Chains A and B, each alone.
Chain A
C-alpha cells in the first residue's frame, strides 16, 4: 500500500528576512545564457530542462490511465500529433514563431519539451474556429493575425531598422511592449482597421490557449490535469494529492533585461481596463 508513502513536506513560504543577493544585471540578451531565466538568489541562469517550475517530478501524463478514454484521446493527440502549419505562409510562420517566442518564451525548456504553440494557433485559424463573437472594431481573427504580423514587422523596422526576427530578444520584447502599452510607433493605417488592445489580447489569448492546454505546462505550474473518473480528495489547504507533488520554490525570474518581467495594465493606463472574456461563473 502506498498509504504510508508520504509526499514531500509542505513547502515553507520564502523567508522574507533571509539575505537576498540583489542582482542588478544578468548575462546580456545577445548571449545564449542571456536568453535563460535566472535564479535571483544564486545569480545563475537556469539551464534548459524538460520541466521548469516548482514541481520537479510531477507528471500529469503519468496519470493518464486514470483518465477516461475520451479525455485521454484528446490530450494525447495534443501531445503526440501537433497539427501541421497550413494557414500561415512560410514567411508569416517564421515571424509568428518569433513573436510567440517572446509572448510566451520557452527558452528554459529543452527542445524535446517545448510546446508547439504556433501549430495550434495555425490550426485554429486554418479551421476558422472562433470564440463565438467578434468585436465590431476588429476584423475577423484570420485577418487580424495577418494584419498584426505586418504591424509588428513595421514597428520593428521603425524602432530598430531591422526585421523582427533579426532582433535580439530584448529588442523584440520592446517592440511588442509598444503594442501592450497601446502606443505603437508605426503601422497606424493598420491600427485604424483594428483596435490595438484587442489585437494584443487576441494574440496573448491564442498563445496561452495553446500553451496552458498542454500537459507540459500543467506539470510546470502544478495543475492536476484531467480528473475523471478519479477526482480530488485533498480539497482544502492546498495539499497535493498522493500522485501530485508538493511545491519546491526557488527564486525564479525571467532574464533581467526582460521588460515583460514588469507587470502593467494593457494600455499602460492610457485606456480603461478591457474586460476579460473567459467564462468562470
Chain B
C-alpha cells in the first residue's frame, strides 16, 4: 500500500459510498446476519452498518470493560490462592476495574473513550505481558522448575491467564480508535488528526505512521484481519488454560474435552480468516458461536461444580476460590464473541 497522507485517506473514505439501500445491503452485509433479517431486521442492520463502518466505539468500550472485569474477578480469586505474596499481584486487580470504569464512562463520554480508555487498556495490556513473564518465572521457581513442566505448569501460576486478561486491554485500545455510533457517517478529512488521541504523538514517527494507517482502518471498520487474529490467539490461550486444569481433574467429565477440542478449531478459523475472506464469513462466525455456547455451558457446569463441592454453598467463598473457576468459561465465550465481531467487520483490502 502506498503511503497515505491523512488527507488522502480521508478522501478515500469519503469516496466510498455507504450502503444504505437495504436490498443492495443484503449481499454486502456480513455473512450470517441475514439469518436474523426477518425478525430484527432494522436494528440489526443498523448495528451491522455501524460495525462495518467502525462506528461502534461505545459498544466495544463497554465490552472491553466487561471482559476486563470478568478477567479481573477471576484474577482476584486466583491471586487470593497465591495469597498476593508478591505486591505486583495486586496490579491486575486494580487495573481491570479501571478499564471497566473507562469502558463504561467511555460509553457516555467521547473524551474518556479517547483518553482514559486507551491509557488504562494499554496499562492492562502491558500488565498482561508483565504477568506472563512473572508466571513463567513463577513456574521456573517451583521445585524442579521447568524440568517437570507438566506438574509445575498445572500447580504453578496459570501461564497464559495474564495474556487472556491482556486481550481485554487490546479490545479497549481498539475501542479507543473507533468512531462512535452517533458520529456522522462521513468524516470530514479536516476533522481526523484533531480527533486522534494525544498519546499517539508520544510514539516514534515510524510507528505513528503505521498507527495512523491502522487507526484509519479501524475507524472504518476495516480491521477484520486484526480482530480475527486476536480471536485465534485468544482461542489458543483459552484452550491451553482449559487443557491443563481439566487434565488435572483427569477429565472426570467427558464434557471437559469440549473447550479443548473446540479451541483449536476457533483458532484455525481465526487465523484462517486472516488469509481467507471466505473463512471469515463462514467458519469464523460458526465456530465462534459454538465457543460462546460452549463458554455458557462451561460456566453452568463450573457453577454446578462449585455448589457440589464438599460444604457446597455453606462454604461458598472457599468453594468459589478452589472450585472450578467460574469466570474462565466466560472468557472463552468472550473469545467467541470476539470472533463474531470480527466476522462482521470489513477487511483492510
Contact = CB atoms under 8 A, between A and B. Distances in A.
Direct A/B contact, Cβ within 8 angstroms: yes
A234 B250 contact: yes
A3 B148 contact: no
Range of interface residues on chain A? 10 to 19
A228 B143 contact: yes
B54 to A, nearest CB: 41
Contacts of B150: 2-3, 242
Contacts of A242: 150
A230 B144 CA distance: 7
A179 B278 CA distance: 85
A230 B145 CA distance: 9
Interface residues of B, number: 16
A3 B151 contact: no
B88 interface: no
A66 B151 CA distance: 11
B154 A239 contact: no
B143 A229 contact: yes
A241 to B, nearest CB: 9
Contacts of B243: 3
A231 B250 contact: no
Interface in B234-260: 243-244, 247-252
B258 to A, nearest CB: 14
B248 A229 contact: no
Contact of A7 (B142, B143, B154, B250): B250
A6 B154 contact: no
A233 B148 contact: no
Interface in A140-164: none
B155 interface: yes
Nearest to B257: A4
A16 interface: no
Most buried by B among A2, A7, A229, A239: A229
Interface string A1-12: 011001100100
A237 interface: yes
Contact of A6 (B148, B244, B251): B251
A76 to B, nearest CB: 19
B95 to A, nearest CB: 30
Contacts of B252: 10, 237, 239
A228 B143 CA distance: 8
Contacts of B247: 3
Contacts of A3: 150, 243-244, 247
A6 B248 CA distance: 11
Contact of B144 (A7, A229, A233, A239): A229
Contacts of A234: 248-250
A211 B136 CA distance: 42
Nearest to A237: B252
Contact of B250 (A6, A228, A229, A230): A6
Given A230-B143, A230-B148, A233-B155, 5 more contacts: A2-B150, A10-B252, A66-B144, A231-B143, A231-B151
Interface of B: 142-144, 148, 150-151, 154-155, 243-244, 247-252
A-B complex: 8 closest residue pairs judged by Cβ atoms? A229-B143, A229-B144, A239-B250, A230-B151, A230-B148, A233-B154, A233-B248, A3-B247
29 contacts: A2-B150, A3-B150, A3-B243, A3-B247, A6-B250, A6-B251, A7-B250, A10-B252, A66-B144, A66-B148, A228-B143, A229-B142, A229-B144, A229-B148, A230-B143, A230-B144, A230-B148, A230-B151, A231-B143, A233-B154, A233-B155, A233-B248, A234-B248, A234-B249, A234-B250, A237-B252, A239-B252, A240-B250, A242-B150
Interface of A: 2-3, 6-7, 10, 66, 228-231, 233-234, 237, 239-240, 242
